[in-house]
Amino acid sequence: MYLVNVRFKLSALNIYKKPKIIPSDSAIYKNQRYKLIKDDLIAEENSNTNKKDKKRGSEEEILRRGKEFVKVKREHNKIQNALMDIFTSQGLDAEKEVSDVDIIVTLKDGNTIFYELKVCDCAHKCIREAMGQLLAYYFRATKKPSKLVIIGNHQLESKDKEFIKFLRGTTKLNIVYSAWINGKLTKEE
C-alpha cells in the first residue's frame, strides 16, 4: 500500500520496493492526517440512519470523513422537523426543502414566508450565512414571499439587531430573525 500526495507529478515520486514504515515518534505519524480508514465502515454506519420516514430529515448522528471520524449532530434537521410539527399543528400549509428553501409556510391569506435555518457559533454568522440564500430564493421565486425569516440557534446581540435593521432598510424586504432556544422560538426581531 502506498501513500501518495496528489499535488506532485507522478514522475517526481519515489516508489520503494519495500514499504517504508513511519516510526511512531515521527511528526507525520502523530499528526494522523494520513490515517488509513475503511470506506465501508462509513457506508455501513451511515446506512443505518432513519429510513422509516422519508418526509422527516434524520436527526441521528452520522460519521463524516475528515482527519478522523467525526460524529455530526443534525441540529438543523431537529429544528426543521420541530418547526414543521409546530406549523402543521397550527393548521398552516408548510413544506420543507422546496426549491432549496428550508421551510415555506403559506398563510391562510395566501402570503408565503420563507424560513432559512442556520446552526452556527453566533447569531451574526447565522444571519450572514442565511442572507445570501434567502436573497437567491427571493430572486428566483415567481410568487414573492411576504417575509424572510432567519432561524438561528443564538439570541441576537445589539450589533446583530442593528445588522438586521440595516438589511431591512437596504433591501426594503421584510427580514426578521428568531432564535431556536431550548425547543422554542423567540419573538421575531
**Are both 49 and 88 inside the same structural domain?**
no
Residues in the chain: 189
**Are both 46 and 92 inside the same structural domain?**
no
- Would you state the pLDDT for residue 58? 73
pLDDT tens-digit map of 54-97: 567 777 766 555 555 555 568 888 999 999 999 999 999 999 98
pTM score: 0.65
**Are both 57 and 39 inside the same structural domain?**
yes
**Are both 41 and 129 inside the same structural domain?**
no
- Which of 1-10, 58-67, 94-103, 171-180 has the highest average model confidence (pLDDT)? 171-180
Number of independent structural domains in the chain: 2
- Which of 4-8, 32-36, 149-153 has the highest average model confidence (pLDDT)? 149-153
pLDDT tens-digit map of 13-53: 666 666 666 666 766 555 555 555 444 444 455 555 545 55
In angstroms, what CA-CA distances link 79 with 24, 46, 170? 44, 21, 29
The C-alpha cell at 179 is 432564535
Question: In sequence order, what are the residues at sequence separation of 6 or more whose Cβ sits closer than 8 angstroms to the Cβ of residue 87?
Answer: 94, 103, 105
Any idea what the Cα angle at residue 126 is, between residues 124 and 132, rounded to 5°? 105
Question: In sequence order, what are the residues at sequence separation of 6 or more whose Cβ sits closer than 8 angstroms to the Cβ of residue 182?
Answer: none
**Are both 110 and 161 inside the same structural domain?**
yes
Q: Give the residue from 72, 105, 138 where a domain finishes.
A: 72
Average pLDDT of the chain, as a whole number:
79
Q: Say yes or no to pLDDT of 1 above 50.
A: no
On whether the CB atoms of residues 67 and 33 are closer than 8 A, the answer is yes
Residue 88 located in a structural domain: yes
Long-range contacts of 32-39 (CB under 8 A, 24+ apart): 32/67, 32/68, 33/67, 34/3, 35/67, 35/68, 36/1, 37/65, 37/69
Residue 46 located in a structural domain: yes
Helix (H) or strand (E) holding 185, with range, is strand 184-185
Helix (H) or strand (E) holding 178, with range, is strand 175-181
